[in-house]
C-alpha cells in the first residue's frame, strides 16, 4: 500500500482500492498533474456511503482500472465530510462523485458511481481527448471561470415581505398527505421544512401546519427509516412511504431531528433517539459525538438478539465542529422544553470539550482534527456558545460568542456585497478560488446574529445589520430553491418576530420557549420574567401563564 493510502478510508469489505496511487487534495498533486500533463481523477467519497464502498470493491478493484488510473491520471481522493468546500464545488450529483479535472482543477466531465467497464472506457476516452485538445479545453475553462465569477452577485436580492409565505406555500405544496414528508422518492427528512411548519403553526395559530409536521415525524419514526431495534434515523428513504432506507446514520441529520422531535413534543421518539446517540455515537470520556455510523443492510435486517452477536457497522469517530455544535443546541432546547436534565448535562460536557479542542480566540473554530474551519463551523459554534450563555451553563460564553462573530466578519464576510463565503479563502487550489455564499450557512449566521443582538440589547450593536446583509446576500435563491429554502424563511421571520425573555427561572423560561418559537432567553434579572418585543417591554411576571399572556400582549403591541 502506498503511504498516502493510509490516510483514506476504503470499504470495510475486501477490495483493492488502496492499490491506486491516491493523493490527498494538495499542492503536490496539482503540481504533479501539471508537470506530467495528466488530468486529475477526483473521487469524492464518504465513510458512510454505501455506493462508495461498492465502487471500492468493484471499479477501483478492477486490475485494468487500477492500471489506467495509475498510468494516465493523478488520482485524488477526498472525504466529503472532511472537505465540504471541495464537495460544494465538485460534486457530480451524489456520492461517490467521480470528476475528471484539468491540472488547474477545472472540470472536464464527471459522474457518480461508475461500474468497471464504463470507468475503463471513460478513463481511456478522457485521457486521449485531453492530450489531443488542450487548447480547446483551456478556452472552455476560461469561459466557465467568467460565468462562475458572477455567481455571488446573482445570489443577492431584496428581503421581500412575501418571501416567508412563498417558502411556506412551497412546503405545503410538496407535503405528502398520505405518508408525510415532502415529495416522492427518494424522500429525505427535510428537517428545516418540518421546523418551519412547527414554528409557523404557533405564530399563525394554525394547527394544520403542526399536524403536517407531526404526521411526518410519526411516519418516519414508525417506518423503515427509523432503526426500530437500536433507535436513530437512517439518512433517507428510497421509497415514498419511508419503508426502504439507505442505512447510514448521520450526526448532522440527528441534530435537527432531535430539535424537531422536541418542538413537536414527541417524547418517546426523542428519548429513543437521544439514547442511540448517547450510547453509540457519544464518546463517554470527552462527551463528543462521532460523525456517522456506516450503512450495512444485512446488519440492520437483524433482530436485537442477532445484532448482539454481530459486529456493529463502522463508526466514523471524527468529531465535526458544526454537527456537534448543532446537536448541543438541540439538546439544550429539548432539555428545557421537556425537562430532560441529562440532555442539558451532555450538552454542557460536549460544548466544554468541543471548544477546548477546536476554538482559538481570534482564530475561530477548526472543522475537524487537523482540518481548518469552514463557515458552517463558525456559525454553528457562534450559535451554540450563545445558547450556552442563555441556558446558564456557566463560563464566559458571551465573550466567546462575540469573538466568533468578530472572526466570522473579519475572515468570511464579503465586504463589498455583504453575507459570508463558505470558506476563508486561504486555499485557492482548483475551484476553491470560486466565491460561494451558501444559503443554509448564511441563514444560520443570521439566526445566531439576531439572537446575539437581542441578548446584548445594545442599539449600537452591528449584529442585526450583519444578519440582514447575510440574508440579503442570498435572497435571490429562495424562489429557485422552494421548500429547500425553509432555513432561510426561519431566519428571515426571526428578523421581525423574535422576542426576549429575561429570567433566571427555568419554569418561566420553559413557558416562554413553548409559547413562542423565537423566544431569546437572557439569564439576567431575578426569578420573575420580563418579556420584550423590540423596544416594548412589559412589567415583570411570575407565573408560566403570565409569561404566555405577556408574550401575546407584546407581540400584538409590536404588530
Question: Per-domain residue ranges for the chain?
Answer: 4-150, 163-497, 498-559
**What confidence score (pLDDT) does residue 141 get?**
66
E-strand stretches of 233-332? 236-237, 245-246, 249-250, 292-293, 315-316
Strand partners, 236: 246
Strand partners, 245: 237
Helix and strand counts by DSSP (H, E) for the chain: 24, 15
| Alpha-carbon span 54 to 10, nearest angstrom | 10
Contacts of residue 144, defined as CB under 8 A and 6 or more positions apart, other chains included, come to 106, 107
Contacts of residue 11, defined as CB under 8 A and 6 or more positions apart, other chains included, come to 17, 52, 53, 54, 56, 57
> Cell numbers at residue 160, please?
421581500
Cβ–Cβ < 8 Å for 88, 438: yes
4-150 and 163-497 agree in CATH topology: no
**What confidence score (pLDDT) does residue 3 get?**
46
**What confidence score (pLDDT) does residue 134 get?**
75
Pairing label, strands 499-502, 530-533: antiparallel
Please give the distance of CA 242 from its chain centroid, rounded to a whole number: 22
> Cell numbers at residue 242, please?
419511508
**What confidence score (pLDDT) does residue 1 get?**
40
Q: Give the DSSP letter of residue 279.
A: I
Please give the distance of CA 372 from its chain centroid, rounded to a whole number: 17
**What confidence score (pLDDT) does residue 142 get?**
65
| First-to-final CA distance of the chain | 67
Q: What is the CATH number of domain 163-497?
A: 1.50.10.10
Q: What is the CATH number of domain 4-150?
A: 3.40.30.10
CA-nearest of 96, 24, 25, 90 to 58 is: 96
- Taking the chain (559 residues) in runs of 10, the rounded mean pLDDT of each run is 64 95 96 96 95 96 98 97 95 96 93 97 95 74 62 81 96 98 97 98 97 98 97 97 96 97 98 98 98 94 96 96 98 97 98 98 96 95 98 95 98 93 85 93 98 96 97 95 97 96 97 97 94 93 97 85
Amino acid at each position: 500500500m502506498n503511504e498516502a493510502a493510509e490516510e483514506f478510508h476504503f470499504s470495510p469489505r475486501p477490495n483493492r482500492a488502496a492499490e491506486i496511487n491516491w493523493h490527498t487534495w494538495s499542492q503536490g498533486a496539482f503540481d504533479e498533474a501539471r508537470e506530467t500533463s495528466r488530468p486529475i481523477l477526483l473521487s469524492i467519497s464518504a465513510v458512510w456511503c454505501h455506493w462508495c464502498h461498492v465502487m471500492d470493491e468493484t471499479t477501483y478493484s478492477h486490475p485494468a482500472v487500477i492500471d489506467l488510473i495509475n498510468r494516465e491520471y493523478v488520482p485524488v481522493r477526498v472525504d466529503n465530510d472532511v472537505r465540504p468546500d471541495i464537495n460544494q464545488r465538485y460534486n457530480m450529483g451524489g456520492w461517490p462523485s467521480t470528476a475528471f479535472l484539468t491540472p488547474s482543477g477545472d472540470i472536464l466531465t464527471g459522474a457518480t458511481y461508475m461500474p468497471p467497464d464504463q470507468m475503463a472506457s471513460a478513463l481511456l476516452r478522457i485521457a486521449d481527448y485531453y492530450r489531443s485538445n488542450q487548447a480547446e479545453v483551456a478556452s472552455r475553462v476560461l469561459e466557465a471561470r467568467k460565468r462562475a465569477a458572477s455567481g455571488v452577485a446573482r445570489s443577492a436580492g431584496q428581503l421581500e415581505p412575501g418571501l416567508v409565505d412563498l417558502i411556506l406555500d412551497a412546503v405545503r405544496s410538496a407535503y405528502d398527505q398520505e405518508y408525510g414528508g415532502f415529495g416522492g422518492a427518494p424522500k429525505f427528512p427535510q428537517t428545516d421544512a418540518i421546523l418551519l411548519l412547527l414554528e409557523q403553526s404557533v405564530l399563525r395559530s394554525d394547527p394544520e401546519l403542526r399536524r403536517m409536521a407531526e404526521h411526518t415525524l410519526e411516519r418516519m419514526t414508525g417506518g423503515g427509516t427509523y432503526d426500530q431495534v437500536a433507535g436513530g434515523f437512517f439518512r433517507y428513504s428510497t421509497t415514498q412511504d419511508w419503508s426502504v432506507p439507505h442505512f447510514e446514520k448521520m450526526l448532522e441529520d440527528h441534530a435537527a431531528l432531535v430539535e424537531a422531535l422536541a418542538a413537536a413534543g414527541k417524547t418517546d421518539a426523542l428519548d429513543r433517539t437521544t439514547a442511540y446517540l448517547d450510547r453509540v455515537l457519544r464518546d463517554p470520556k470527552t462527551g463528543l459525538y462521532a460523525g456517522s455510523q456506516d450503512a450495512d443492510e444485512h446488519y440492520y435486517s437483524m433482530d436485537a438478539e442477532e445484532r448482539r452477536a454481530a459486529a456493529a457497522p463502522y463508526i466514523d469517530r471524527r468529531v465535526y465542529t458544526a454537527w456537534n455544535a448543532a446537536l448541543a443546541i438541540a439538546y439544550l432546547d429539548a432539555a428545557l422544553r421537556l425537562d430532560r436534565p441529562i440532555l442539558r448535562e451532555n450538552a454542557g460536557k460536549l460544548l466544554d470539550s468541543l471548544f477546548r479542542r477546536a476554538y482559538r480566540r481570534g482564530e475561530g473554530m477548526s472543522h475537524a482534527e487537523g482540518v481548518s474551519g469552514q463557515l458552517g463551523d463558525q456559525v454553528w459554534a457562534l450559535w451554540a456558545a450563545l445558547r450556552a450563555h442563555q441556558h446558564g451553563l456557566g463560563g464566559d460564553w458571551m465573550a466567546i460568542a462575540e469573538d466568533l462573530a468578530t472572526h466570522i466578519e473579519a475572515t468570511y464576510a464579503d465586504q463589498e456585497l455583504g453575507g459570508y463565503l463558505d470558506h476563508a479563502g486561504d486555499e485557492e487550489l482548483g475551484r476553491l478560488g470560486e466565491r460561494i455564499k451558501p444559503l443554509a450557512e448564511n441563514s444560520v449566521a443570521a439566526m445566531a446574529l439576531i439572537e446575539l443582538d437581542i441578548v446584548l440589547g445594545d442599539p449600537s450593536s452591528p449584529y442585526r445589520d450583519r444578519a440582514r446583509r447575510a440574508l440579503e446576500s442570498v435572497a435571490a435563491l429562495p424562489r429557485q430553491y422552494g421548500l429547500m429554502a425553509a432555513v432561510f424563511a426561519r431566519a428571515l421571520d426571526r428578523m421581525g418576530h423574535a422576542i426576549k425573555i429575561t429570567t433566571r427561572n427555568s419554569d418561566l423560561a420553559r413557558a416562554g420557549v413553548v409559547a413562542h418559537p423565537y423566544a431569546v432567553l437572557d439569564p439576567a434579572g431575578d426569578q420573575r420574567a420580563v418579556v420584550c418585543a423590540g423596544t416594548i417591554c412589559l412589567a415583570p411576571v411570575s407565573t408560566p401563564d403570565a409569561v404566555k399572556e405577556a408574550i401575546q400582549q407584546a407581540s400584538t403591541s409590536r404588530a
